[in-house]
Amino acid sequence: MPITDHDIDRSNLLFLLGRLTRRWRQVLDSEFQISGITDATWRPLLHLERMGEGVRQKDLASSLGIEGPSLVRLLDTLVAKGLVERREDPADRRAKNLTLTDAGALLVRRILTVLLPLEEELLGSFSDAEIAQMAGLVKRLEGSLDTLKARGKR
C-alpha cells in the first residue's frame, strides 16, 4: 500500500528517506550506465572529489558506508584504471591517503555533467531556503546517528 502525505510521521520518516535515497541512486545508476560509468566507479570518485585531497581510506569507507575490505578491492580496481592513487600518509606509514589522478578528475567532471542537471531537475521546485532547511535537518539527523553510534548502541 502506498504511503500518502497524511501517513508521514515519526514511525515512517526514516523509511521514506531510505526509499528516496534508493530511488535517487537508481536514477543515477541508470543515467551513468548510459555513459558506461558504474556505481563502483562514480560513487567513490565523487566522494573523493567532495572530500578533498589526501583522504584516508577509512574515511572514504565511512563516507561510502562500506567496510574496509570491500573498499580495498574497489580501490584496487580504480588504481589499476589509473583513476586514483594511494600514497603513504607521512604522519602514519600504515595509513594510505587517496588522491584523484588527472584521469580521475577528468572522469569526475564527466560525472558532474550528468549529475548536476539531474539534481537541478529534482530540486528545481524548492527554494534556496527550503534546500537550506532540508540540509540542516539532514545534518541534525546525521549528528543524532553519530551520537547513537558513539554510545555503542548501533
Residue 75 lies in a domain: yes
pLDDT in tens, 38-95: 888 899 999 999 998 889 988 999 899 888 888 899 999 999 999 999 998 888 888 8
pLDDT in tens, 125-146: 999 999 999 999 999 999 998 8
The number of folded domains in the chain is: 1
- If we measure between CA atoms, which residue out of 46, 56, 52, 55 comes closest to residue 107? 46
* 116 has pLDDT over 60: yes
Residue 1 lies in a domain: no
Instruction: State the pLDDT at residue 105.
Output: 96
CATH classification at residue 134: 1.10.10.10
Residue 122 lies in a domain: no
- If we measure between CA atoms, which residue out of 120, 121, 107 comes closest to residue 32? 107
Question: Which domain range does residue 71 map to?
Answer: 8-116+127-150
Residue 2 lies in a domain: no
Residue 121 lies in a domain: no
Residue 112 lies in a domain: yes
Residue 44 lies in a domain: yes
Residue 56 lies in a domain: yes
Query: Long-range contacts of range 128-135, CB-CB < 8 Å, 24 or more positions apart?
Result: none
Strands across the sheet with 55-56, in order?
55-56, 92-100, 84-89
